[in-house]
Amino acid sequence: MHILIATQRAPELANFADALAVGTGGLLRFADSYADVLATVKAMPPAFVVLDEGLKDGTPLEIAKRLVMVNAMINTAVLSPLSAEDFHEASEGLGILAAVPLHPSAEDGKALSEVFRRFM
């Protein structure tokens, strides 16, 4: 299983990503732009995509909307500074599996892996 993490701060997310990989047994790939995400989704669709803030191509929610148009079967999670209630309101209808804190820890990676395992 492949998990694609779209971020421009891969080194900062290392503990989170490592815990996610261990928890799912998945192979992680990284992309640093929407163009890279789109190319990956078209060439070899990942089981899950994790979208981070800070991509120059739009917010994670904007990118999630575009991904749904390309492949509605891709499961996504989003790193977000929003509260749970605000995130739910903003992401309604996008099929996003989970919101993750903007500065995720290894524990957040483990928790997300548990969510992802339910959809494997």
The rounded percent of the chain whose pLDDT value lies above 70 is 100
Structural domains counted in the chain: 1
- Residue 120: pLDDT band (50, 70, 90) is confident
Strand 48-51 and strand 27-31: pairing? unpaired
Q: What is the pLDDT of residue 75?
A: 93
Residue 106 lies in domain: 2-117
Q: Given this model, what pLDDT does residue 33 score?
A: 95
22: domain CATH number is 3.40.50.2300
Work out the mean pLDDT of the chain and round it to a whole number. 94
| pLDDT tens, position by position, 6-20 | 999 999 999 999 999
Distance, in Å, from the CA atom of 29 to the CA atom of 41, rounded to the nearest integer, reads 11
Amino acid (one-letter) located at 106: A
What does the pLDDT look like over 54-107, one tens digit per residue? 998 899 999 999 999 988 888 999 999 999 899 999 999 898 999 999 999 999
- Check the CA dihedral 79-28-47-114 and report its sign: negative
